[in-house]
Amino acid sequence: MTTKVFKSSSRGKSDFGWLKANFSFSFGNYFNPERIQFGMLRVLNDDTIAGGTGFGTHPHANMEIITIPLEGGLKHKDSMGNEGIIRFGEVQVMSAGTGIEHSEMNASQTEQAKTLQLWVFPDRENVQPRYDQKSFDIENQINTFVNVVSPKEHNDGNALWVYQKTFFSLGIFESGSNTTYKAKISKNGVFLFLIEGQITVDNQILNPRDAMEIIDFDEFEIKINTKSKILLVEVPMGH
């Protein structure tokens, strides 16, 4: 197993007043030639959006876009006619395919919203655009990883699906517990993003918003030092 830690403080940052963004990979005005992508994972943005603001209508194409609200909600509207609010506890997927336009606005005029948005390169291009969202009761499934996104061909009917052999898992773990993650597809890598808490992986301590790249593994153990919320993104390391 090979691991590499990325401290929260090493991420790219932008502060537009209405938007405070942290970039795990090169994005917008942040460019780091050593931080372009991890396998098929291209973007992990950790955004705080002020009340009454948001991202106006903008286009996407040929990208799988996954949005995970951490606090508050986002009002979504797209060119396919979908409109609604995604809130904490829900996950949204969008296959941009041949092209889609959408807007994402804070659903509140006064409270801030915090979201993670991730982009994954698809394994096929120019598909019919699609949108889906679902609520996952992570809070009541303690000490286990809940699969929230998976490939269409590996879908168990519970997770949302995308056009890539990627698996997103979210979990809340109690202090003092341990958990083991087993690779779902051989030779995939895992990008571990610690949302809250403190954990130890491969004898290295991670604190909130720290990340770790993990490759060349069949399984790995996570030691939970304090109550933690963890996102694991398993992705192919090449086309």
- Joined together, the tokens standing for residue 118 give 């991730």
Average pLDDT over residues 146-165: 90
What pLDDT score does 102 carry? 84
Of residues 209 and 137, the one with the higher pLDDT is: 209
What pLDDT score does 28 carry? 87
Average pLDDT over residues 192-220: 98
| HSE-CB for 17 with a 13 A CA cutoff | 2
Q: Is the dihedral of CA 214, 219, 223, 227 positive or negative?
A: positive
Residue 73: pLDDT band with limits 50, 70, 90: very high
Q: Return the DSSP state at 1.
A: -
Residue 157: pLDDT band with limits 50, 70, 90: confident
Q: 19-46, pLDDT tens digit by residue?
A: 999 999 999 889 999 999 999 999 999 9
64-89 residues labelled b (16+ CB within 10 A) or e (exposed)? bbbbbbbebbbbbebeeebeeebebe
CB 44 within 8 A of CB 116: yes
Element (H, E) at 69: strand 64-71
Round to whole Å and give the CA distance between 150 and 154.
Answer: 6
Lowest pLDDT segment from 95-104, 108-117, 211-220: 95-104
In this predicted structure, the answer to whether residue 155 has a pLDDT above a threshold of 80 is no
Amino acid at the residue 70: L
In this predicted structure, the answer to whether residue 139 has a pLDDT above a threshold of 90 is no
Q: Return the DSSP state at 152.
A: G
Average pLDDT over residues 173-191: 96
Average pLDDT over residues 161-176: 96
Residue 239: pLDDT band with limits 50, 70, 90: low
Domain 2-235 in this protein, CATH class: mainly beta
- Listed in order, strand segments (DSSP E) in 80-218 are 83-87, 90-95, 100-106, 113-120, 130-135, 146-151, 160-162, 167-173, 178-182, 189-201, 204-206, 211-215
Mean per-residue pLDDT of the chain: 94
Round to whole Å and give the CA distance between 70 and 88.
Answer: 5
Burial of residue 221 (number of CB atoms within 10 Å: 0-12, 13-18, 19+) = exposed
In this predicted structure, the answer to whether residue 100 has a pLDDT above a threshold of 70 is yes
Element (H, E) at 67: strand 64-71
What pLDDT score does 152 carry? 84
Round to whole Å and give the CA distance between 239 and 230.
Answer: 26
Percent of the chain scored above 70 by pLDDT? 100
**Total residues found in the chain within this entry:** 239
Query: What are the boundaries of each domain within the chain?
Result: 2-235
